[in-house]
Each structure stands twice: as structure tokens, then as C-alpha cells.
Chain A
Amino acid sequence: MTKELSFNVTRWIIFTLIALAIIIPVIISDRIPLPDTSSKVVKNIYDKIESLAEGSPILISVDFDPSSDEELRPMIKGLLRHAFRKNLRVIGMTIWDAAAGGTLIDIFNEMAKENNKQDKIDYAIMPFKPGGSSILMLISQDFYQGYPNDYKNNNCKDLTVFKGIKSLKDIKFAICVSAGQAVDTWIIYGKEKGKMPLGAGCTGVMATDYYPFLQSGQLVGLMGGLGAAAQYETLIQHKDTAHKSMKPQTVVHAMIILLIIVGNIIYFLGKKKN
């Protein structure tokens, strides 16, 4: 019983420390400095969008559900702000049913309202279609076979945003922001058939899996986690949620590093004693 109680008490102390490490920086965040740096892999995505001419069509695949919202929503918001500022035509889609209807529509409409962009002219949202890889293969040959209508049932061929687009090959840049395996699906089925430049955004958990694709050139750039989202906000000079969240992130990281070091010291001292 005593051992169980001590286990629980240690657990609760750690949880309280983590909660305080998050709450205190949130309250006093202005006093925590943060360097304005960006990594090469994030800058590649920024540079690619920056290099596109006005009116170029880009595609953003929103493939995450609310469980990864905190990390990935700032990425989409940053990308949309950048794309709308450059007056690019943005097509939003998803190959993940959990994102359908909720996350995708919500983010696009919020950013469009903020940037005074109009549905059907400056951007369009595609409805969810099941199949993942099969829908990508379909739209890489004929976009309208996969998406004949947008999510409000307007005929895609009639929309200004689709002018000059027949398939994925006509998309100047595609970015998949995903919390699962959607980036792999895009690399294998979207990029191989569509041959368009592809960027990726993912959670920190998945980020290390995509570095081989960066080196091979299959991915133009990669935004891995909240840190990358904060770097992108720095690049587009619009610091928002990600930047604010990096401040408590800094403190929590330091706390966890301290816990690991203390844990190892206790372990080695115990080992020495025995």
C-alpha cells in the first residue's frame, strides 16, 4: 500500500509540475524571449509558395482530426495566410474521414473570412471521398472524376478556382498536413502519379519518418510539429497560436529534461548504494 501511495504521490507531483510549467508561462508569456529562427526544411516550403506567381493553384490536404488540432491547425493557418496573401488559388481536400466536415471546413472558412477571400473564386473545399490512395490516383488523371462537385455541390468545372486545372499535374504545389499515414499515401500515390511538387506537415511523432523523403527530393520541405509551425509563423511575419505555445513548450521541455536527469541521478546513486 505504501509503495502504491508513493508511486501515486510521485505521479501527482510530476503532473502538477507539468501543469504549472504550462500554466505559468501562458500567464506571463510576454516575459519569455523566443529566438526568431527557422530551419531549412520549413523555409523550403515557405520559399516554394513565395516563388509561385499570383493566381497559381495550390492544393492543401487537411488530414487530421481534433486530437492533433493544437499542433497542425497553426500550420494550416500559416499556409493559408501565406497563400491568400500571395493571391494564390487554394483547393482544400481531405482523405481522412475524421477531418471531413469539421476541421477542413472550419479552418478554411475562418482563414477566408480573415483574408477577405471568396469561396468558388479564391478557394474551394472538396467533400470527403473514401479510398485515400484511389482518390489520389483518380485525381492525378482527371480531377473532376474524383471531385465533380465541391462540398456545397457546385460543379467544380464552373468554379473560377479550377480554371486551367485538369488533374494533379496542373497543381503548382501540394501540401499534405497529416497526423497519420496520409503523407505516405500522398508520396506514393499522389506524387508518383501527379508529379507535382509536394510538401508535408505532420506531428512531431511522425516527423523523423519523413527525413529520408526530404533527402531524396520527394518532399520539398517538411513542417514537423508545433516548433515548425512557429517557425512558419515567423517567416510569414504573423505570430499566432504556435508562437505563443512555444513559450510554455520551452519551459515544459526544460522541466522534462530536468526530470530525466534527476531520474538518472537517483538511479545511479541507488546503484552505487547497492
Chain B
Amino acid sequence: MQSVTTTQVIEVWIAVGCTLLIYSFLYKDNPLFKLGEYLYVGLTAGWGLCTAWFMVVWPDLLLPLSRVIKSYFVSNVKLESNDTILLVIPLILGIFMLTRLSAKISWLSRYTFAFIIGSFSGMSIPLMISADLFKQIEPTLKSCWGTDVTIIQAINTLIILIGVIAVLIYFFFSLEHKGVIKSIARTGIFYMMIAFGAAFGYTVMARESLAIGRMTKLVKWASADYYYASIVLFFLVAIIILLWELLRKRESANPDNQAS
């Protein structure tokens, strides 16, 4: 049996506590869930801030810039390959972005947005045309006959082609959906229903696997090695929720207390 250290036991108790705070929502929305929710939001915000600072702003912007500026005053400063005074430009653009917090000078942030949105728009057009259009049109229009094409493959290619056209026509709202267009659009709906059903089937597997992962860990942490963490904390959470329910019922049963 693998020995478990005290630190690991504490870590497990914290993890189980966090898990059960959130799982208490399965009963109904309650103060324990709200506590867990606020902690989650607070930690995520703190983590996001730290990641942005320690992984991006400090090592990629401020540190290289400080080295470059230092090199102008001190002779033997070792510069890395990406150290350049041009980093002042993203620094200024980043500061402009922060001006969004002030109503008076928020207009400066438009320069940063214009640069980011404009450059990404320009970058994405040729690549999207290539990856999402041309490379997708090619297999849609591939040959249905030939020496290396079986009947099944030919039928499947035709089915895909019909599906693509039908779904595109369904989403073409400039044409009124009546007559032949209506029939083709309805075919498109059938294709989409099959696709969404397939997506739902896979989604069930995806979501259940997350639940299975957590429950598996809770079962593992209910062992004696971890001092029955799951069982003890489960009953603690159940008792707290029970007390909360009793308190709520008493408050709703005594309207005089509520009025005062």
C-alpha cells in the first residue's frame, strides 16, 4: 500500500471540500454552493492576472525592454535575440488599451483595437480561404467514378454533396423557402438533425466522463488512507444543508420575525 504524506492528506481534504461545495448545487442553490462559486471566480481572476503578468508582461515586454534601456547606459549588458527598442510600441499600445477604464481618454484604446482587429482580419482572410473553403470544396466535389472508387464511396460522396448544398440553401434566407427551395431546405434540416443528434450523443459521453472522473476521485479519497475524507465531508455538507433548510423553514413559518 502506497504511503500517503500529511501534505497529501491535507491537499485531498481541500480538493474534496472544493468538490462537494460545488456538488451541493445538485440539491439546490445554497450558501455552500455560493461560497464555492465565489472562491472559484476569485481564484480564476487571480490566476488569470498572475499568468498575464508572470508569463507575458514581465518576461516578454518589461524585462527585455529594461535590458535594452540598460544597454544604452551600461556597456556589458547581454541582450537576447528578441530584445529590441521597438518593444516600446506594444508597450504604448498596451497602455492605450488600459485607458478604456477612463471615460475621458478611452478614445486612445481605439488605436490598439484598430491595430489588433485590422491585423488579424488581414492575416485570417487568405488562410481561411485556403483552409476552410478551397480545401473543403475539393473533397466535396471529388469524382464519383474511377478505377479506385467503389460504389459505396461514390454514393457516400453524393450524399455528402447533397447535404452540403441542402444545408447551404437552408441558410440562404434571401430566397423565399417555397416550392423546390423548400424541399431542398427541408432536406438540409434533416441533415442537420442527424448531425446535431450525433453531436448530442458525443456530448453525453463528454459530460459524463467529467462526472465519472470526479466521482472516481471521490471514491478513491473515501479510503482510510485519506482518513475517509469524502465520507466525512459529505456528511458535514449534508448536515449544514439540513440546518440551512430548517432555518429557512422556520423563517418562512414566522412572518412576524420577517417583518421586524
Residues of A within 8 A of B (CB): 8, 12, 15, 18-19, 22-23, 26-27, 67-71, 97, 100-101, 127-130, 133-134, 137, 144-145, 148-149, 153, 155, 187-189, 191-193, 203-205, 207-208, 212, 215-218, 224-227, 241, 244-245, 248-249, 252-253, 256
One of B27, B59, B135, B208 near A127 (C-beta < 8 A): B59
Are A187 and B131 closer than 8 Å at their CB atoms?
A: yes
One of B51, B59, B138 near A101 (C-beta < 8 A): B51
- Given A100-B55, A128-B55, A249 and B139 contact (CB-CB distance below 8 Å): no
Are A148 and B82 closer than 8 Å at their CB atoms?
A: yes
One of A192, A203, A248 near B130 (C-beta < 8 A): A192
One of B52, B132, B136, B205 near A249 (C-beta < 8 A): B205
Residues of B within 8 A of A (CB): 26-28, 48, 51-52, 54-56, 59-60, 80-82, 120, 123-124, 127-128, 130-132, 135-136, 138-139, 160, 195, 198-199, 202-216, 219
Are B205 and A245 closer than 8 Å at their CB atoms?
A: no
The 29 sampled A-B contact pairs (Cβ below 8 Å) are: A12-B26, A19-B215, A22-B208, A23-B219, A67-B210, A100-B55, A101-B51, A130-B56, A133-B120, A134-B123, A148-B81, A153-B59, A188-B124, A191-B131, A192-B131, A204-B202, A205-B202, A205-B207, A208-B202, A215-B160, A216-B138, A217-B135, A217-B139, A225-B206, A226-B206, A226-B209, A245-B212, A252-B211, A256-B208
One of B60, B127, B195, B204 near A253 (C-beta < 8 A): B204
Can you list the 5 inter-chain pairs with the closest CB atoms, starting with the nearest? A70-B213, A204-B206, A204-B202, A226-B209, A22-B215
Min CB–CB distance B167 → chain A (angstroms): 12
Are A225 and B131 closer than 8 Å at their CB atoms?
A: no
Which chain B residue lies CB-closest to A19? B215
| A interface, over-half SS | helix
Contacts of A127 in B (CB 8 A): 55, 59
Contacts of B208 in A (CB 8 A): 22, 249, 252-253, 256
Contacts of B26 in A (CB 8 A): 12, 15
Are A216 and B135 closer than 8 Å at their CB atoms?
A: yes
Q: In whole angstroms, how far apart are the Cα atoms of A252 and B211 in the complex? A: 10
Q: In whole angstroms, how far apart are the Cα atoms of A71 and B204 in the complex? A: 12
Are B209 and A71 closer than 8 Å at their CB atoms?
A: yes
Contacts of A252 in B (CB 8 A): 208, 211-212
Contacts of A249 in B (CB 8 A): 205, 208-209, 212
Are B212 and A22 closer than 8 Å at their CB atoms?
A: yes
Q: In whole angstroms, how far apart are the Cα atoms of A212 and B137 in the complex? A: 10
Are A203 and B136 closer than 8 Å at their CB atoms?
A: no
